[in-house]
A and B are shown apart, each in its own frame.
Chain A
């Protein structure tokens, strides 16, 4: 039998498609770079005009040219860490329930239900926060106002949940059944199998889930702006959660519309954006490195 020669135009098509895919891949990276360069371009004038000691100060008071970023950064970190501290255990437990324990029909209901939660607009969640969560927080804590860091934390943790659940569930789902059977065959109970075998095997995916959850929480603007009180104070001390707090995102959203374009304040807001960008980048990098190191440690050797 004679194999027909590959027609010439197929070669050409291969080349075209390959280049198209390459172009798309490269442009995705290029856009991220361009965003970063834009932030730098708009932020650099502020770094030249405002002394570093001012930027690293503990007070944010732009009207008097006091641009301390520290309370904003700490504010963002506080609500993000708080939100993840709640949504990680809750989300992981839900993912384990859906992926490992629930019967098929319950799973079929829960999975889409969780995706619906993910689709609720953040302004609606903020509205619920103002109307319901904030009065509850005020009542139970005895704080002078219900618009506190805690209120933001509660709502953000709710918003990060669907992300964490669905990514973690995918990670559990990707663990081969042969691992589970091997563990059962070694006389492990269901819980021992989940805790000692399935979870460790799914760890890279779970770390990714947490990182995307962190990204969701740290980048969220509307909800925190509505419910967290927005006072740019240093969130230190034990009562920090019960006081108002202001995040970087809320600051940019609230003030960008009111500054004169090209003013110092305008440029400083870009520095805030830059700080946010760097912070998320560092967090993601740390996660990627953790996963990378574990993969290498896990031994990538092929079966002989």
Chain B
């Protein structure tokens, strides 16, 4: 059992129309740890991530069964505000999606949506977030240039900073390094290892190696089913299920 469960999934299933994606997943996600969700393609890893901050609501004809608890509170309760939930649970996508704004505006976008944040507070928040995402040194002189003009690796770290600026408790990352070169990947991973000290992080890594480098816990999904989960050490050295073993040793996937 993880020490403190930040998020609890109770028998969660998700359907796109009639098609089942995620099937009966029960999982506890601890605070101040990195959970890596691994598995072959089409195993609903991204769906699982998107459920955690209710981006899954946007799927046409999407349907959810089961309960998702954040700090013991069901995130689908009618009295839960979706926008509030999304400030607590931030997400970084596989392809960096800088909004067509300047770097500064991209990072300040989330906080600005809340009222009553002063310009100087924003300035310091932007700097703090960019530093935490390990990209400050590269962009400090060009904060007011369009974010689209940055390299892919820089864009992805600006997107991470943009999420950090919301001061979330949970950070979701969907293959955040899939388009990045090794050095950018290393910088993102270093940033995550620092962030884990006071965040709950759930990442879908783009390969098994990344899961083993940064994951404290690993969940292995296959065909929408949670095959097994446990500490990274246990899953990688003594997998309980033969399918997990086959996957991590590269027999398929």
**Interface residues, chain A, CB within 8 Å of chain B?**
176, 178-189, 192, 196-197, 200-201, 297-299, 301, 303-304
Contacts and interface: CB of A to CB of B under 8 A. Distances in A.
B166 A182 contact: no
Contacts of A299: 145-146, 148-149
Contacts of A301: 148-151
B181 A304 contact: yes
Given A178-B95, A197-B99, A185 B148 contact: no
Interface of B: 53, 55, 58, 83-84, 86-87, 90-91, 93, 95, 97, 99-101, 109-110, 113, 145-146, 148-153, 155, 159, 162-163, 166, 179, 181
B179 A189 contact: no
11 contacts: A178-B95, A178-B97, A184-B86, A185-B53, A185-B55, A185-B90, A186-B109, A299-B145, A299-B149, A301-B150, A304-B152
B166 A297 contact: no
A196 to B, nearest CB: 7
A200 B100 contact: yes
Given A186-B86, A187-B110, A303 B99 contact: no
Contacts of A179: 97, 99-100
B22 to A, nearest CB: 19
Given A186-B163, A187-B110, A297 B146 contact: yes
Contact of B166 (A176, A183, A186): A186
Given A181-B58, A299-B149, 11 more contacts: A182-B99, A185-B91, A187-B83, A187-B113, A188-B109, A188-B113, A189-B113, A192-B113, A298-B100, A303-B151, A303-B152
A183 B150 CA distance: 19
A100 to B, nearest CB: 13
Nearest to A203: B100
B146 A298 contact: yes
A180 B99 CA distance: 9
Nearest to B112: A196
Contacts of A304: 151-153, 181
A81 B159 CA distance: 41
Report, nearest first, the 5 A-B pairs whose CB atoms are least far apart: A299-B149, A304-B151, A187-B86, A186-B110, A299-B146
Given A200-B101, A299-B149, A182 B86 contact: no
Nearest to A175: B100
A259 B189 CA distance: 80
A180 B83 CA distance: 14
Contacts of A297: 146
B93 A178 contact: yes
A181 B53 CA distance: 11
Nearest to A182: B97
A192 B149 CA distance: 24
Nearest to A201: B100
A303 B98 CA distance: 12
